[in-house]
């Protein structure tokens, strides 16, 4: 092979590596149990809102603190804290996809995506304040 072909192959491999690392969040959905095994590591957890347990949101006291309970796909119920405003119609969502990490027994959530039952509504996404 010519030197130019080898250099071109190396450049293509480097470009593919950069593209995959930028867009490569190919993680699967985890449960609270598997997320609690590695405290602080970011996971995607999918579950359903537990409507008979309390939801705490007081926009006068702290508009960027919303806590609630979610049951994951394996049946575990866990406390979730979202550092953002309470998403609109979270009670109507079929499923909730949360991005965050475990801190003790609490899932610290930085992003919520709600899977809504209506075929006329798109999925709604809420992102926590980073400040």
CATH of domain 27-127: 2.40.50.140
Give me the percent of the chain exceeding a pLDDT of 90: 53
Residue 6 to residue 19: CA distance in whole angstroms: 20
DSSP-based three-state secondary structure for 4: helix
CB 10 within 8 A of CB 50: no
Q: What is the per-residue pLDDT for 125?
A: 61
Residue 36 to residue 24: CA distance in whole angstroms: 23
Within 10 Å of residue 38's Cβ, how many Cβ atoms?
12
pLDDT tens-digit profile of 25-73? 555 788 999 989 989 899 999 999 999 999 999 999 999 999 999 999 9
Residue 127 to residue 31: CA distance in whole angstroms: 20
Verdict on whether the full-model pTM lies above 0.75: no
Ranges of each domain in the chain: 27-127
């Amino acid at each position: 092979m010519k030197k130019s072909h080898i250099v071109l192959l190396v450049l293509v491999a480097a470009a593919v590596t950069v593209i995959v690392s930028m867009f490569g969040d190919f993680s699967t959905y985890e449960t609270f149990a598997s997320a609690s095994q590695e405290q602080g590591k970011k996971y995607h957890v999918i579950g359903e809102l537990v409507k008979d347990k309390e939801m705490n949101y007081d926009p006068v006291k702290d508009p960027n603190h919303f806590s609630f309970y979610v049951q994951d796909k394996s049946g575990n119920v866990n406390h979730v804290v979202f550092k953002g405003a309470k998403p609109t119609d979270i009670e109507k969502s079929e499923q909730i996809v949360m991005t965050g990490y475990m801190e003790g027994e609490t899932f610290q959530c930085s992003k919520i995506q709600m899977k809504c039952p209506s075929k006329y509504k798109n999925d709604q996404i809420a992102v926590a304040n980073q400040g």
